[in-house]
Amino acid sequence: MMRLHCLGTAGYHPSETRHTSCYFVPEAGLVLDAGTGLFRLPPLLRTTHLDIFLSHAHLDHVIGLTYLLGLIPTTPVECVRIRGEAEKLQAVRQHLFSALIFPAQLDVQWLPLEKSDLQLPEKCVVSWFPLPHPGGSVGYRFQWPTRSLAYVTDTTADPIGNYIKQIQGVDLLLHECNFGDDQADWASKTGHSWTSRVASVAKVAKVRQLLLTHLDPRAPDHDPIGLAAAQAIFPATTVAHDGLVVPI
């Protein structure tokens, strides 16, 4: 069975209980985003390769790439592939790995996303799609023969958006929900999502399970986004927390 491990579930900056965006499927060596939560990777590794997919290059999604330099030599990992939009990879390499920002280069493959779908081991087909966000973001769908996972982060949830068809019917939709309904205006302004809109997306796309993440690190841990409002629209909704493990 494959499982999604939530290594970092905060948006923007870490809190005492949440690190920033990073998710891991150990059985597939699959990493979604590389926020500060990436430091939790080594004890979970099961493969000699890592496939890291970046949604975009905002710091809370890429800063953990710098941790790979120290982490990887202590693990059995021999091959690291980092994928994202070409201009985002270029920005990360030029700026985050500038000699003035970080002292060394990584021994990894930087692989820009191409137009067609991508095939990963375990018969996993990966497709991606653009998402509206300042600077742009991309969402991903990972389709195994009997399972599917969609990752949609840093965008304003839109039940009539172009990405609905891409995530249609997935077993697990991991979707950002940075804000509760009371901050819908602010969410719109900053290119993020609020609770009831994300739940509507899950309902319209007929997904099996919705997991809300990229949560405001300043919000209370017990109920950061008003879960009841989501469950009223889409009952199979849960809120992610660091350390949560979800079967896909």
Q: Which residues bind Zn ion (CB under 5 A)?
A: 11, 58, 60, 154
CA-closest candidate to residue 229, choices 189, 190, 194: 194
In the bound complex, what is the minimum distance in angstroms from residue 165's beta carbon to Zn ion? 23
Extract the runs of DSSP E, i.e. beta strands, from 122-236: 124-131, 137-143, 148-152, 172-176, 209-213
b/e code 171-208 from CB counts within 10 Å (16+ = b) = bbbbbbbbbbeebbeebeebbbbbbbbbbbbbbbbebe
Q: Looking at beta carbons only, is 209 or 213 nearer to Zn ion?
A: 213
Q: Looking at beta carbons only, is 29 or 194 nearer to Zn ion?
A: 194
Token pair 């896909």: residue:
248
CB under 8 Å to 43, separation ≥6 — which residues? none
How far are the Cα atoms of 57, 219, 221 from residue 18, in angstroms, in the given order? 20, 11, 9
Q: Looking at beta carbons only, is 45 or 113 nearer to Zn ion?
A: 113
In the bound complex, what is the minimum distance in angstroms from residue 212's beta carbon to Zn ion? 14
In the bound complex, what is the minimum distance in angstroms from residue 230's beta carbon to Zn ion? 19
Q: Looking at beta carbons only, is 5 or 88 nearer to Zn ion?
A: 88
In the bound complex, what is the minimum distance in angstroms from residue 133's beta carbon to Zn ion? 6
Q: Looking at beta carbons only, is 13 or 147 nearer to Zn ion?
A: 13
In the bound complex, what is the minimum distance in angstroms from residue 84's beta carbon to Zn ion? 13
Answer for the pair 225, 239: CB distance below 8 angstroms, yes or no.
Answer: yes
CA-closest candidate to residue 201, choices 226, 174, 240: 174
> How far is 15 from 11, CA to CA, in rounded Å?
10
In the bound complex, what is the minimum distance in angstroms from residue 82's beta carbon to Zn ion? 17
Q: Looking at beta carbons only, is 154 or 216 nearer to Zn ion?
A: 154
